[in-house]
Amino acid sequence: MIFDWDKYNLELCEEISKMNEYMPLYAFANTYSTLDVSLNDLRMQVRFFEYALGAAEDIANKIKQNTDEYIDTILPPLTKALFKYVREGKYTFCTPGHMGGTAFQKSPVGSIFYDFFGSNTMKSDISISVSELGSLLDHSGPHKEAEEYIARVFNAERSYMVTNGTSTANKIVGMYSAPAGSTVLIDRNCHKSLDSPDDDERHYADLLPSDP
């Protein structure tokens, strides 16, 4: 965040630091500004710059470098790898067949579809064949790093990334927790993926939800 020190000063920094102590702050001051800042205040992510047209390019480079470092620290592993892949503009000849969205731009309706979702969505629509992102099948590369990251965030022993949404994840957990022939008591108001209608090997008993 960039702001004028004479207008907002330390109070703004303190308010932002309460919400996010790691967000970089860039304060601009003129030659005659008073900087009443203690050593403790400097622990906040505040960097001071003087209004100087002759140093504009150097200041811009410093702000960009510091901001990039901040973004690099907050991005999860798989997201970071995916963003890097898209920025590099790599071209694949495998699935999906729309080739980063270029195939959609061959027709009017395809162009409308492309414009609605945007280029980044199309370029990040990739298959498991992209080695830079690792694999969900053998839990390697950024996929593995992401699963380890998720486990740390949720204080779990292990975590797994699953395709096909919550329904498939619930079925995986349910089939592990309740082997064939088990009797399972579930809340009637639970996600219906737990009460799979095609599951003949388990017996489900729906319970009425409790009164609020």
pLDDT digits (tens, 9 = 90+) for 117-176: 999 999 999 888 888 888 888 899 999 999 999 999 999 999 999 888 888 888 888 888
Structural domain contains residue 188 = no
pLDDT beyond 70 at 210: no
| DSSP secondary structure of 161-208 | --SSHHHHHHHHHHHHHS-TT-EEEEETTS-GGGS-TT--SSEEEEEP
Residue 173 has what pLDDT? 84
Given its phi and psi angles, is residue 133 left (phi above 0), alpha (psi -120 to 50 degrees) or beta? alpha
Residues 83 and 21 placed together within one structural domain of the fold? no
Give pTM, 2 decimals. Answer: 0.71
Please give the share of the chain, as a percent, with pLDDT higher than 90. Answer: 31
Structural domain contains residue 195 = no
> Considering only 31-35, 66-70, 178-182, which range has the smallest mean pLDDT?
31-35
Structural domain contains residue 92 = yes
More confident residue, 108 or 190: 108
Residues 122 and 141 placed together within one structural domain of the fold? yes
Domain region containing 22: 2-74
Residues 129 and 67 placed together within one structural domain of the fold? no
Maximum mean pLDDT: which of 52-56, 84-88, 146-150: 146-150
Residues 92 and 157 placed together within one structural domain of the fold? yes
Integer Cα distance of 34 and 47 in angstroms: 15
Structural domain contains residue 202 = no
pLDDT band at 1 (very low <50, low <70, confident <90, very high): confident
Average pLDDT taken over every residue of the chain: 82
Q: What is the total count of domains within the chain?
A: 2
Residue 171 has what pLDDT? 84
Q: Do residues 191 and 170 lie in contact, with contact meaning Cβ atoms separated by under 8 Å?
A: yes
Structural domain contains residue 191 = no
Integer Cα distance of 210 and 192 in angstroms: 18
The CATH number for 17's domain is 3.40.50.2300
Residue 109 has what pLDDT? 96
- Mean pLDDT of the region 51-74: 89
Integer Cα distance of 168 and 73 in angstroms: 31
Residues 61 and 134 placed together within one structural domain of the fold? no
Integer Cα distance of 178 and 168 in angstroms: 15
